[in-house]
């Protein structure tokens, strides 16, 4: 499953990609598939970690400050974040999934 849509536009990647992902996650609601929601959360968290780590590089980062640098930075954040989530040893998704299942069962 490709949690972060590969057809994301340049505008999404510039500033709002993570925010839009969080909005999609929130819109899933309480009846969402726990496994899907947990994996999406894990991917978004990893992407945010990569974004903040990249920002610590200071002005210019990997791609400088020229035209398109923000798009390339967004792509980097998205793809490295997704790779981290896919191979993450913390298995955060299973913990989130278990919590969501418990919440869904408690509300019935």
Domain spans in the chain, listed from the N-terminal domain onward: 34-106
Spatial distance between the Cα atoms of 73 and 98, rounded to a whole number of angstroms = 33
* Chain-centroid distance, C-alpha 45: 5
Give pLDDT tens digits for 4-48.
444 444 445 445 577 787 788 788 877 778 888 888 888 889 999
Residue environment code for 38-75, b if the CB has 16+ CB neighbours within 10 A, otherwise e: bbbbbbbbbbeebbeebeeeeeebeeeeeeeebbbbbe
Residue 53 has pLDDT above 80, yes or no: yes
Give the global pTM: 0.67
Q: Alpha-carbon distance 28 to 74, whole Å?
A: 24
Report whether pLDDT(101) > 70: yes
Give me the pLDDT at residue 12, please: 52
Q: Which residue has the higher pLDDT, 91 or 47?
A: 47
- In angstroms, the CA 9 to CA 7 distance is 6
């Amino acid at each position: 499953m490709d949690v972060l849509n590969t057809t994301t536009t340049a505008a999404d990647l510039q500033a709002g990609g993570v925010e839009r992902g969080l909005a999609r996650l929130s819109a899933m609601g309480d009846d969402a598939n726990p496994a899907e929601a947990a994996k999406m959360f894990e991917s978004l968290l990893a992407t945010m970690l990569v974004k903040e780590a990249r920002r610590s590089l200071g002005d210019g980062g990997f791609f400088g400050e020229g035209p398109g640098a923000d798009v390339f930075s967004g792509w980097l954040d998205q793809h490295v974040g997704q790779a981290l989530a896919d191979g993450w040893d913390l298995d955060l998704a299973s913990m989130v999934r278990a919590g969501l299942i418990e919440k869904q069962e408690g509300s019935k």
